[in-house]
Amino acid sequence: MTHSPLDTTPDAPEAGSADAATQVTEEQSVVTSAADAAARAHAASTPFALTDRAARADALLAVADALAADADTLVPVGLRETGLAEARLRGELNRTVVQLRLFADTVRAGDYLDVRIDEADPGFALGARPDLRRYLVPVGPVVNFAASNFPFAFSVAGGDTAAALAAGCPVILKAHPGHPELSRLTAQVVVRALAEAGMPDGTFQLIEGQDAGIEALRDPRVAAGSFTGSLGAGRALADIAASRPAPIPFFGELGSVNPVFVTADGLVSAGGADALAAGFVASVSGSAGQLCTKPGFLFVPTGTLAQLDAPIREAAEGVAAHRLLYPKITSGYVERRDTILGVEGVRPVAAGTVEVDDDGHGWVTPTIVSVDLDTLLSAGEDLLDEAFGPLSIVVEYDPATTDLAALVPELFPGSLTATVYAGDTEQSDDLDRLVFALSRHAGRVLFGGWPTGVAVTPAMQHGGPWPATTNDSSTSVGTAALLRFLRPVAFQSAPDRMLPPELRDGNPSSVPRATAPAGESTSWGSTSV
């Protein structure tokens, strides 16, 4: 997710503007009940799925344009409700707009449909083969549980919503209670833009409240669920989806600690202790550490911490206090921070601060602690569980005796990211094994740099093995994200007039297609590299 420099966020305006306050009052009706939302989404499902791809792409562009046009109304409300800095919110809104535009191009191109055509072949190697044509179709209505820490990019009009709409699935958005006013305003923009673009009524709807979200997830008219949030809540929702009479796919992005490993030669490639410390603290403290890709652990060779101590402390002390998103985040962060500081053998490198106001909002500065590897191993979940906020743990290990590759599955069974700092020309079996292990236990492996920065681009993978996500073959960022809301169907020996346009002779939809011609099977296995 996008990282931006940490700013001091003063008390936000009490209201975005007079117009914003009026609009919120007028648009309370944008919120509907779970049952009504499911009924309307079900009614919209077939006409929306059958909508011409170009029209659907135009609708995504209309939403993008409307959000960009209303930035001056939306951002001030986000400031007040989340405490995030204005620069961060405007950048995140721009990311949301760009993401919608990327999906519009993806829908128009049509390659995501994965069209495969096997021509009828009476001479097929295993007996006569019928004409077979396969592509991907929308699964149906999706209930999307919005995130708190990205009030634009992973909330009402964020990645999951954009992906589901691009796939041709109506969306029921369960708003996050951390920014309700912004959710209603954003939903109003989305509903209006989709309607003006000619999309069916019920293509997008907003519901509020935990009970409503669960009711929607259980509704037989809902075909899939998506979620970004805590491990506990995500697991509970995943269990509901799996225990339905007819289970449905559920795609949850949950907890991640995103370890960073520095080899003996890696400190030099990182630019030295000062550069490594500055980048590390900036990544940990960005947006008050409320990022799913925040580096929770930094592994350094024995003796390296002596070089890092002072620059880490200096960088952390230069970070101004930042408000956490809402009181529940504050209480959770305080509890995790107290637990970590209470573990025997934990040494504060930068003590950090927490100040809680009368409303329960927390204002924090980064806390960085260090431990040796034996302490980490013996402490278990007291140290290994995610600390959602500006806290990270530096771990010293002995390169001569530590098998980092073997530690990865033991300590980090699933993570969104993992990072390696190695020497510019460093090569060894141990390093190869470490990289291989990380590729099996993380969705994105970085070589240098910091994980708090997720490019919205076709090749991005933002997912990982449990507990990072509930489905390690999916991503919630990038064009592959819409594949979560599609399923394959094949047509056998169908008359051309009965086929969807993407599968007809002559390819009237001009989509990329993989074709297996008649006669090909007799030469299978004869191709040499």
| Preceding peptide of 467 cis, ω within 30° | yes
What pLDDT was estimated at residue 527? 75
What pLDDT was estimated at residue 7? 29
The tokens for 295 are: 């580096």
| Distance, CA of 406 to CA of 431 (rounded, Å) | 12
Q: Decide if 474 contacts 498 (C-beta within 8 A).
A: no
Backbone angles phi, psi at 17, to 5 degrees: -170, 170
Q: Decide if 75 contacts 86 (C-beta within 8 A).
A: yes
In this prediction the pTM is 0.92
- List, as one string, the DSSP characters of 33-50: -HHHHHHHHHHHHHHHHT
What pLDDT was estimated at residue 396? 96
| Distance, CA of 153 to CA of 147 (rounded, Å) | 9
What pLDDT was estimated at residue 10? 29
The tokens for 304 are: 């390296």
Confirm whether 27 is a catalytic residue: no
* Cα torsion 58, 60, 63, 67: sign: negative
Length of the chain: 529
pLDDT in tens, the chain (529 residues): 333 322 223 233 333 333 443 343 344 468 999 999 999 999 999 999 999 999 999 999 999 999 999 999 999 999 999 999 999 999 999 999 999 999 999 999 999 999 999 999 999 999 999 999 999 999 999 999 999 999 999 999 999 999 999 999 999 999 999 999 999 999 999 999 999 999 999 999 999 999 999 999 999 999 999 999 999 999 999 999 999 999 999 999 998 999 999 998 999 989 999 999 999 999 999 999 999 999 999 999 999 999 999 999 999 999 999 999 999 999 999 999 999 999 999 999 999 999 999 999 999 999 999 999 999 999 999 999 999 999 999 999 999 999 999 999 999 999 999 999 999 999 999 999 999 999 999 999 999 999 998 999 999 999 999 999 999 999 999 999 999 999 999 999 999 999 999 999 999 999 999 999 999 999 999 876 5
What pLDDT was estimated at residue 529? 54
Contacts of 5 (CB under 8 A, 6+ apart): 87, 282, 286
What pLDDT was estimated at residue 471? 93
Confirm whether 292 is a catalytic residue: yes
Q: Count the helix, strand and coil residues of the chain and give each as a percent rounded to the nearest 5.
A: 45, 20, 40
Could you tell me the CA-to-CA distances from 117 to 121, 491, 502, 509, 511 in Å, in that order?
Answer: 12, 10, 11, 14, 12
**Domains along the sequence of the chain with CATH:** 30-121+137-254+476-484 (3.40.605.10), 260-447 (3.40.309.10)
Q: Catalytic residue among 92, 215, 253, 502, which?
A: 253
- Alpha helices by DSSP H, listed for 286-392, are 304-317, 327-341, 373-379, 381-384
The tokens for 50 are: 């059958």
| Distance, CA of 485 to CA of 226 (rounded, Å) | 10
Here the contacts of 212-215 (C-beta below 8 Å, separation 24 or greater) are 212/33, 212/34, 212/174, 213/34, 213/143, 213/145, 213/174, 213/237, 214/240, 215/34, 215/35
**At how many degrees (to 10) do helices 429-441 and 404-411 cross?**
10
Q: Catalytic residue among 27, 292, 386, 502, which?
A: 292
| Distance, CA of 151 to CA of 146 (rounded, Å) | 8
